[in-house]
Chain A
Amino acid sequence: MKEFQVIDDVMPDVPPTDHARVLAARARVLEGTRRRRPAVWPRVTLAAAAVTGVLAAGFVVVPRLGGEQAGTASPAATASGTATAVATISSPRDALEKAADRLAAQPPGTGAWWRREAIRTEQTRANSSFTVENRYTEVLWIDRHGNQRTVQGRVSSSLPTAADRRAWKRAGSPKLCGDHEDCRIGRVSFFPLALKPTMLPEEAGALKALLLKHRPTDGSTDDEGWLWNAARWILLDTAATPRTRAAAYRMLADLPGTDVVGRASDTEGRAGIALEHGTVGIRQQMVIDPGSGDLLALQTVMAKGGAVLDAYAVRRLGWTDERPPRITD
């Protein structure tokens, strides 16, 4: 028994936190960190710089997605088509292994540019009486030399529930971020500085060993948290090969604090298997198409109720003969 266990046992505990309250606290904290973003601008990489360039030029090619219903994204059909197969496979772990095998067997692809197109959804509750959901499309382009460009679409804002709409009206129907021409939602990318995407191994053990070698020594993260962040970077922000991506799934699935979940769905209504990690209340979720092994989404969800705090739902990912839009000055 730990010291002073009696206090922990006897004193009244707090009720579990609810979605709205976590969202409000999270929004307040993250807004607070973003306001101070200039302090870290020196670290902002090419990708973020390109966003600024593109937006400053008013070159927004992606149409507004407001009000789009789930399932309009192109991979939806394949994902939902295979989702029913999930339940018939003996265990989520087996399903994940098979999905990783299928992904690893995919050809690396051809073309001059890598394109990762995702819908980013973020719920925020900066005003404490109602929740706002902001959505936009983000397209990351990477050429064969590793040069990157990111194009961010226009933000559309919505009020997720009838209660939010009522609270918003009571608050005087204030304009939401998406109502402003210049609404932008910042994202400062995370890049492990010493790692080059071209160095990434295609086997889970070797990948884990390399990533751990680069773990920050400042005590800011434990091994597992670091590996999840690094895997997120590999899967979302690099042109890693299908074999490396499959290795990332396997690496995470083997971690003691990671759960393999048989069925999860993303913000676009697509179902898949999922890797999960996090605390009792707030979970990081990686949703994977069991049929192809493709990454469907990376999202932060509330364990109870499944509300999505933020998400990247991947629409397209891979090498292409298409080119990014030209930046005009």
Chain B
Amino acid sequence: MTASLDGAVADPERFATVFDAHYEEIRRYLGRRLDLDVAEDLAAETFLVAFRRRHSFDADRGGVRPWLYGIATKLAGRHRRAEVRRYRALARSGPPQDDDGHDQRIVERVSAGVTVQKLSAALAGLSRGERDVVLLVAYGELTYDEVAAALGVANGTVASRLSRARTKLRDSLGVEV
């Protein structure tokens, strides 16, 4: 019996523990890129896809988190036009009034000139590949290696996309990110 068959990924009973441990962060990641209804649907879909593909889960390419983030990112990719529309809407009107995510840090950022409007416009200006790597780092807190594993691309590709994205964001926002 191989080790992977003994793991939570391969076992329906224990797969619930994978869901319980990671659902919230995957939902949050998707919910910050897409409308919440779509995001919640895709978050559940992420775990269904993960379970379906459990036999192709390769621990040598990273742990469960990057694997799930990779699936979520691919699913979000089908909605990339909606994502960009959302950024453009935020760029015009700013965050919704009932958004209670405004804590002190945000106030400080806004005073440094980085607003939701500006940042949304900047994100809309990134290519899909650039946005994926930036948001996996920003929201998922994945390392470069994990981003590479999540997206199934080479480490060099991750580094070059991040570099290009950083330049574009700096030019749009007027500050280093």
Contacts and interface: CB of A to CB of B under 8 A. Distances in A.
Interface of A: 2-15, 17, 21-22, 24-26, 28-30, 32-34, 36-37, 40, 43, 186-190, 192-193, 216-221, 225, 229, 278-282, 284, 300, 310
B11 A188 contact: yes
A221 B8 contact: yes
B27 A17 contact: yes
A153 B44 CA distance: 30
Contacts, number: 175
Nearest to A228: B17
Contacts of B135: 7
B23 A25 contact: yes
B119 A25 contact: no
Interface of B: 1, 3-25, 27-28, 31-32, 36, 39-40, 43-44, 47-48, 51-52, 57, 59, 62-64, 90, 95-96, 99-101, 105-106, 109-110, 114-116, 119-120, 123, 134-135, 137-139, 141, 173, 175, 177
Given A13-B99, A193-B6, A220-B18, A40 B12 contact: yes
A217 B59 CA distance: 8
Contact of A15 (B15, B36, B52): B36
A28 B48 contact: yes
A10 B11 contact: no
A188 B47 CA distance: 18
A21 B10 CA distance: 25
A188 B14 CA distance: 9
Contact of A282 (B15, B23, B28): B23
Contact of B10 (A10, A14, A40): A40
6 contacts: A4-B137, A25-B19, A29-B51, A33-B48, A217-B3, A220-B57
Nearest to B110: A10
B50 to A, nearest CB: 9
Secondary structure call for the B interface:
helix
Nearest to A2: B141
Interface-central residue, B22, B24, B63, by most chain A CB under 10 Å: B24
Interface-central residue, B21, B39, B119, B139, by most chain A CB under 10 Å: B21
B23 A193 contact: no
A218 B57 contact: yes
A189 B32 CA distance: 36
A231 to B, nearest CB: 12
* Top 7 A-B residue pairs of the complex, sorted by shortest distance between their CB atoms: A220-B7, A13-B101, A14-B31, A219-B59, A4-B138, A218-B59, A219-B63
A14 B20 contact: no
A12 B99 contact: yes
Contacts of B64: 219-221
A216 B7 contact: yes
A40 B11 contact: yes
Nearest to A186: B12
A26 B23 contact: yes
A216 B114 contact: no
Contact of A36 (B36, B51, B114, B175): B51
Given A7-B139, A193-B6, A220-B18, A32 B48 contact: yes
A2 B27 CA distance: 21
Contacts of A193: 1, 6
B103 to A, nearest CB: 8
B20 A284 contact: yes
Contacts of B90: 12
Contacts of A43: 5, 11
B101 A216 contact: no
B44 A218 contact: no
Contacts of B57: 218, 220
A280 B24 contact: yes
Given A36-B52, A40-B12, A188-B13, A7 B177 contact: yes
Nearest to B39: A14
